[in-house]
Amino acid sequence: MRRGHGTVFWTGFAVIVALLIAAPLVLTEFWRRFVTEILIWGLLAMSSDILIGYTGMVSFGHSAFFGLGMYGAAAALLTIDPPNLWLALFYGLVAAAAVAACVAYFSTRLRDIYFAITTLIFSQIFYVIIFTWTAVTGGENGLAFERPPLAIPGLFDFVLTPTRLHWFVLAVVAGSYLILRRITQSPFGMVLQSIRENEARTRAIGYAVERYKIVAVMLSGLFAGLAGVLYALQNQFAAPDFVFFLVSGETVIYNVIGGIGTLVGPIVGAAFFLLLREGLSRFLTQYYLIPLGAVFIAIVILMPQGLLGFMRRWLNE
Amino acid sequence: MGVPLDQLLIQTINGIVTGMILALVSSGLTLIFGIMDVVNFAHGELLMLGAYVGVLTLAATGNFWLALLSAGLLIGLLGAAIYLVTLRPLIDRGPLTTILATFGISLVLQNVALWQFGPVSRKVAEPIGGHFTLFYLDYPWYRIVVALLSAAIIGGFWLFLKFGTWGIWIRATTQDRVMAQAMGIPVPWVLTGVFAIGSAMAAASGVLFGPLSGVDPTMGLGWILRAFIVVVVGGMGSLGGSIAAAILVSLLEAYASLWVSPSQAIIVSFVVLIVTLLFRPTGLFVAAPK
Amino acid sequence: MTVNPSLAAASSAEVAEDGKAAALLRTEDLTIRFGGLTALDHVNFAVPRSEVCAIIGPNGAGKSTFFNCLTGVLHPTSGAIFFAGADITGLPPNKISQKGIARSYQITNILPNATALENVRIAAQSRRHSWSLFSHHRAYRDIIEKAEAALDSVGLLGKAGEPAANLSHGEQRTLEIAIALATEPQLLCLDEPTAGMSAAETHDTVQLIRRVAANLTILIVEHDMHVVMELAGRITVLHYGAVLAEGTPSEIQQNPRVIEVYLKT
Amino acid sequence: MSSGAGAAFIGTGTAVARVGEDARAADLLAVDRLHTYYGKSHILHGVSLSVGRGEVVGLLGRNGVGKSTTLKAIAGIVHPSAGEVRFEGRPITGLPPHRVARLGIGYVPEDRRIFPLLTVLENLRVGLDRRGVAKAKKALLLDKIYAYFPVLAERRHQAGGTLSGGEQQMLAIARAMMLEPKIILLDEPTEGLMPRMVSQIREIIEALRGEGVAVLLVEQNVPLTLEASRRIYFIEKGEVRHHALGSQLHVGDAVIHQYLGV
């Protein structure tokens, strides 16, 4: 039974990855880019699912981790010559981890809504810093840079074309998914879920709950930062808009629409949201958030399991 | 570096004026949270819509008091409607669900405003003209009026809570919802009413603040952010704490803007918040837990 | 230091030279106040190693408060708690658990939608491997074996794969004991272990506690006099937060003050 | 009232239901085969009982057998999944608690649930400030309560949370009286009280009866329940298992041992 479940999982995973590998070869440039972005936003959403879905902490501050990942990558690409992809990754992750450590230290002192509010405020702190520290961050205009080559000295050296970037993003996102999935099934992941269900009880059986929460926030921030680095590579700029809280809000929306506590759900949610936005914005230009917000509210009220949970129930019937 | 006393005094007055508006905004937020565990993310958008209703009424009638009244009534009704449609079904689903729902509402309201009123900030003439001389400045009377009106609304609300039958019902419901209902209080209506009152307070602060900074669809976010800081610093659900924290935060920001730009001055509030979280995570102005 | 004289007398045969060392758990003038109310009033209490002790008392006597103080949920206003010779006053619940005090709850499984085994496994894992991030939780056979042993010892192994929420009330209470056992405690604190149980379930639970007591020290807070009389070697009666009487079941049964308070006549 | 109550022990299960049916017309409150769930656990398995006008009825049973849940279901706080509650012949099952309260059912919960930050007077006003009660009548009601509980008059401006346990219990009962109820559901009024307060609770119940207010009493204190109640129901595992006249039971009776395990 369990083995059968595993086979189904890996078959499904392989099929989807294969489809995504083939995607840039058949899609137009516009849709190729669209799919790459869904993967990146999906990774961001997945990273926050570790907190929202598995630990029961709603973060309204993931834009800070995402944005700092972008700015970290930008710093590496602008200051180091020749630009190096791996250093960009490294800088981005370090920046995101530093921010995550700071946010984790303060916000995990509070629970539930207080946590949500505090993460929101912290992301705004970083937004204000980046927005006003023009000399370093370029302020409102942000920073623009060139895409580095995908190279390992002595082994290979590729120019990062859009298609190759898509594959690179796909590899990172798929790998991150597998790692995150394993983390949620690990003993550590079980502790997180136990905190979500009953924090006092988890403490009573001997767990130092605060420490687990801090590590959870840091892990989540690290993967959000990774998404930020990928986004920087894709768009070749870093801008304060991405540190702004609206990005955090959309991350939460992806999770809720897709279904929290599933890892895949948030990616589905991101795809659904972005497709709907694409469709709606043709008629409604910039006001697409009116119907999307309404859909989101309806899902919160009527479909708390999200699309994935809803589909699962529907398939079972 | 020395700061001249006159500047300090001007900033004190400025701080108290914005502090009173912020107190009005935060009271509504904290009232709603205290009674139904709902953190109303859309509170800032209700403020913004209130400001627009005020602008439109003022343009049509020229009567500031009518603007204040109509904004309070209309947005109060809107708040009641929002509560009945979106929050009532969520009543037992916990505060995290309601923060998600109200976040969705804030997105919708903000974009409706953007669609209806456009992104450009509308300047509003101060409805009560006249200046008085404060050192070298012509200080507008309107600002003083704003502070006094905010204080009056908060004070009136406090009296209502303290002595009115509905006030007792609201406080009883806040303390023990189930028992309140078992004592015959129509709790579903009290909750709807409180949401309407909180919304009306947000709307009133929007109308008052509009002439000071202009009115635009995104003005709600800045306010909700500061109101969040205030309620965490003041202690969530504590009305007195919110008011004290609102004035503290606004004063500090006003003093800070002597040295840095206003957009950076908000960092002072962030610092206050961080210090609060470090030493008194339950809030500065509530009794420390046992 | 004050040692309750009756306790010192009772355990004198076992450890004549040092009455204090014999106690696994000991409180010293434990006092807790909420506002004006004194919930615990200078409680001196001791649980000797390998004994089953019970705390009884009418509702509101301070039993739960005492329990919450022991397990770190509440911090005493004054006084101290010693466990296995170490001062544990004011430690957080997780530290107290790690020291070897486990408690059962009236009802709440940790993960209501997970299986009975998973509920016990998460408790077993709290001593080892809990920081492992990259291995599947089922990869740790030692933990699973420990969890299965705990389930077996309460007779729930047959329901290991059953979601905890689907278990009957009695089974859920038993699962609570298994969860507590899986943390490998030295002292097991049971909070009204038979509340809401039928006569048959109560009987089974009493038998279970007796079996468990073979290798453990147990402290029971209980309403049901029968259960207490059957299980406990020593009984402490709390009344208005203070110790009203202490002694063996037969002593307690004949204590006129206890009869007066307990039967409220 | 029910004529069948002459016998000492009226029997179990079905017989109880029949007694309830016979008495329906005369009953103030009738509970008919009530079932409730808490999450997945089935708490009440078809509780049936009745209370006549001005009658004091006791409900005995061990901890956790569903006594409090029965009171909560009557008050509308817990929604029964099956069964019916009738008040003055009219079904009230599923009504929200505030409507139930307005019909004249006062609820005094186990832990009293005084509004801790409201003053004593405000606690009383919660029930008193109803539509359709003239000012003069309000004053009269208050005076009556203050006359009966002078300590509440003394502390009328003190916060409810600062009262002692006994005073809180008085306030909880006084608060329910403000609704001018026809019946009061009294859940463990002596819990945690000093022994001398217990006799006072007994007097209060007697006074309520004197006023024509019926009482449905849930208590751990067996002697008090036996003395105060005209009839007594025994509940076990969410069901009424036995029914007897209070005057014919004694603290030492086997039936009490059987259902209470004391």
B89, B95, B112 ranked by CB distance to A112: nearest: B95
Q: Does residue C125 surpass a pLDDT of 80?
A: yes
Identify which of A179, A197, A207 has the shortest CB distance to residue C126. A207
From the list D117, D176, D179, the residue facing B171 with the nearest CB is D117
Higher pLDDT, A152 or C91: C91
B286: distance to nearest CA of chain D, Å?
14
Tens digit of pLDDT for each residue in D145-175? 999 899 999 999 999 888 888 889 999 999 9
How much is the pLDDT for C196? 67
Q: Is the dihedral of CA C151, C157, C162, C166 positive or negative?
A: negative
Question: pTM for this one?
Answer: 0.84
Between B101, B103, B221, which is nearest A301 by CB?
Answer: B101
Preceding omega of A82 cis (within 30 degrees of 0): yes
Mean pLDDT across B147-160: 93
What class has domain C22-91+194-200+220-265?
Answer: alpha beta
pLDDT value of position B57: 93
Residue C199 per-residue DSSP state: H
CATH value at residue D254: 3.40.50
Residue in C closest to D198 by C-alpha: C264
pLDDT tier at A107 (50, 70, 90 boundaries)? confident
Query: Is A187 within 8 Å of C143 when comparing Cβ atoms?
Result: yes
Report the range of poorest mean pLDDT among A154-163, B78-87, D73-82, D150-159. A154-163
Please name the amino acid found at residue D28.
L
pLDDT score, position D253: 73
Between C172-176, D50-54, D155-159, D243-247, the lowest mean confidence (pLDDT) is in D243-247
- How many Å lie between the alpha carbon of B71 and the closest alpha carbon of chain A? 22
Long-range CB contacts (within 8 A, 24+) of D39-46: D39/C165, D40/C165, D40/C166, D41/C169, D42/D238, D43/D69, D43/D238, D44/D69, D44/D70, D44/D73, D44/D80, D44/D83, D44/D238, D44/D239, D45/D237, D45/D238, D45/D239, D46/D82, D46/D83, D46/D238, D46/D239
Please judge whether D41 and C223 are an interchain contact, meaning their C-beta atoms are less than 8 angstroms apart: no
Nearest CA in chain B to A300: B101
B15–chain A nearest CA distance, Å: 21
Q: Does the distance separating the beta carbons of C122 and A190 come in below 8 Å?
A: yes
Any A CB within 8 A of C122 CB? yes
Give how far A256 is from chain B: nearest CA, Å. Answer: 9
Domain extent listing, chain C: 22-91+194-200+220-265
Query: Would you call D224 and C263 a contact, using CB atoms and an 8 Å cutoff?
Result: no
Q: Output the six-digit token pair for A270.
A: 């991101």
Minimal Cα–Cα distance from D4 to chain B, Å? Answer: 33
Distance from CA of A120 to the nearest CA of B (A): 8
CA distance B280 to chain A (A): 10
- pLDDT above 90 covers what percent of chain C? 20
Kindly report, residue by residue over A185-209, the tens digit of the pLDDT: 999 999 999 999 888 899 999 999 9
Residue C137 has pLDDT above 90, yes or no: no
Shortest CA distance to B25 belongs to which of B173, B229, B198, B236?
Answer: B198
Structure confidence at residue B151 as a pLDDT band (50, 70, 90) = very high
Q: What is the pLDDT of residues D198-250, one digit of tens each?
A: 888 899 999 999 889 999 999 888 888 888 899 999 888 788 888 888 778 77
Sequence spans of domains, chain B: 5-278
pLDDT (tens digit per residue) in A261-295: 889 999 999 999 999 888 888 777 778 888 889 99
Q: Six-digit token pair at C194?
A: 């038979």
pLDDT, average across residues B117-135: 83
Q: Calculate the CA dihedral of residues B145, B149, B155, B158 and round it to 10 degrees.
A: -160
φ, ψ for residue D145 (rounded to 5)?
-65, -45
Output the CA–CA distances (angstroms, integers) from residue D154 to B163, D139, D149, D203, in the order listed. Answer: 20, 16, 9, 20
C7, exposed or middle or buried, with CB in 10 Å at 0-12, 13-18, 19+? buried
Q: Residue D192: which of C60, C195, C198 has the nearest Cβ?
A: C60
Average pLDDT over residues B30-57: 91
Report, as an integer, the average pLDDT of C218-236: 85
- Closest Cα of chain B to A170: distance in Å? 30
To 5 degrees, how large is the angle CA D54–CA D55–CA D57?
A: 145
- Give the chain B residue whose CA is nearest to the CA of A128: B264
Give dist(CA A61, CA D161) in Å, integer: 39
Neighbours of B135 (CB within 10 A): 11
CB nearest to B178's CB, from D77, D125, D126: D77
Nearest CA in chain D to C227: D261
Q: How confident is the model at residue C217 (pLDDT cuts 50, 70, 90)?
A: very high
Give the confidence band of B284 by pLDDT, cuts at 50, 70, 90: confident
* Confidence at residue B200, expressed as pLDDT on a 0 to 100 scale: 96
Q: Average model confidence (pLDDT) for chain B?
A: 88
Question: To the nearest whole number, what is the mean pLDDT of chain D?
Answer: 83
ipTM of the complex: 0.81
Determine if residue A75 is left, alpha or beta; phi over 0 gives left, psi from -120 to 50 gives alpha, anything else beta: alpha
Rounded to a whole number of angstroms, the distance from the CA of A177 to the nearest CA of chain C is 13
Nearest CA in chain C to D61: C196
CATH number of the A2-247 domain: 1.10.3470
Report the side by side order of strands in the sheet with C217-221: C101-103, C187-191, C217-221, C52-56, C234-239, C242-247
Contact (CB, 8 A) for C80 and C28: yes
Q: Do C111 and A193 count as a contact with CB atoms less than 8 A apart?
A: yes
Could you tell me the residue ranges of all domains in chain A? 2-247
More confident residue, C196 or A43: A43
Flag if A191 and C105 touch (Cβ within 8 Å): no
Is chain A adjacent to chain B, meaning 3+ CB pairs within 8 angstroms? Answer: yes
> What is the average per-residue pLDDT within D174-203?
87
Report angle CA C62, C63, C66 to the nearest 5 degrees. 85
* Backbone φ, ψ for residue D158 (5° rounding): -95, 145
| Overall average pLDDT of the D9-18 stretch | 40
Task: Give the sign of the dihedral formed by CA B147, CA B286, CA B225, CA B102.
Answer: negative
Share of chain B above pLDDT 70, in %: 97
Residue D108 contacts C, CB cutoff 8 Å: no
The answer, for A203 touching chain C at a CB cutoff of 8 Å, is yes
> With 70 as the cut, is the pLDDT of residue C188 above it?
yes
**Best of D126, D129, D133, D179 to disrupt the B interface by mutation (most B CBs within 10 Å)?**
D126
Q: Which tokens belong to B200? A: 């009306």
Residue A64: the pLDDT is 95
- Residue D24's pLDDT band, with cuts at 50, 70 and 90, is very low
Q: What pLDDT score does B80 carry?
A: 96
How buried is residue A5: exposed, middle or buried, by Cβ count under 10 Å (0-12/13-18/19+)? exposed
Fold of B5-278: ABC transporter involved in vitamin B12 uptake, BtuC (1.10.3470)
Mean pLDDT of B127-136: 79
Residues D4-40: b if buried by 16+ CB within 10 A, e if exposed: ebeeeebeeeebbbebbeebeeebbbbbbbbbbeeee
**Cβ contacts (< 8 Å) between B172 and chain D: which residues?**
115, 118, 122-123, 126
What residues of A are in contact with residue B99 (Cβ under 8 Å)?
Answer: 58, 113, 116
Whether residue D113 and residue B184 make contact (CB cut-off 8 A), yes or no, is no
Distance CA D41, CA D35 (A): 11
Q: Which domain holds residue D239?
A: 1-103+229-262
In percent, the amount of chain B with pLDDT more than 90 equals: 52
pLDDT band at residue C9 using 50, 70 and 90 as cut-offs: very low
**B neighbour chains, 3+ CB pairs within 8 Å:** A, D
Closest by Cα among B134, B138, B145 to B7: B134
Query: Which residue among D109, D113, D130 places its CB closest to the CB of B184?
Result: D130
Whether pLDDT at A214 is above 90 = yes
Reduce the DSSP state of residue B135 to 3 states and report it. Answer: coil
Most confident of A111-115, B240-244, C9-13, C200-204: B240-244
Look at residue A101 in the predicted model and tell me its pLDDT: 93
pLDDT digits (tens, 9 = 90+) for B224-257: 989 988 988 888 778 888 899 999 999 999 999 8
- B176-228 pLDDT, tens digit per residue, is 999 999 999 999 999 999 999 999 999 999 999 988 888 999 999 889 989 98
Residues C7, C27: contact at Cβ < 8 Å?
no
Provide the pLDDT for residue D254. 72
User: Confidence band (pLDDT; 50, 70, 90) for C34?
Assistant: confident
- Point out which residues pair with C153 in neighbouring strands: none
Q: Is the pLDDT of residue A173 over 70?
A: yes
Determine, for residues C183 and A206 on separate chains, whether the beta-carbon distance falls below 8 Å: yes
Nearest-by-CA chain B residue for A120: B225
With touching defined as 3 or more inter-chain CB pairs under 8 Å, the answer for chains D and A is no
Tell me whether C73 touches chain A (CB under 8 Å): yes
Range A87-93 contact pairs with CB under 8 angstroms and sequence separation of 24 or more:
A88/A148, A88/A229, A88/A232, A88/A233, A89/A226, A89/A229, A92/A68, A92/A225, A92/A226, A92/A228, A92/A229, A92/A232, A93/A69, A93/A222, A93/A225, A93/A226, A93/A229
CB distance C58–D192 less than 8 Å? yes
Q: Does B162 touch chain D (CB under 8 A)?
A: no
Confidence of residue D176 (pLDDT cuts 50, 70, 90): very high
pLDDT tens digit string along A291-308?
889 999 999 998 888 888
Closest residue in B to D111 (Cα) is B179
Query: Could you say which residues from 172 to 201 on chain A have a Cβ atom under 8 Å away from some Cβ of chain C?
Result: 179, 182-183, 185-191, 193-194, 197-198, 200-201
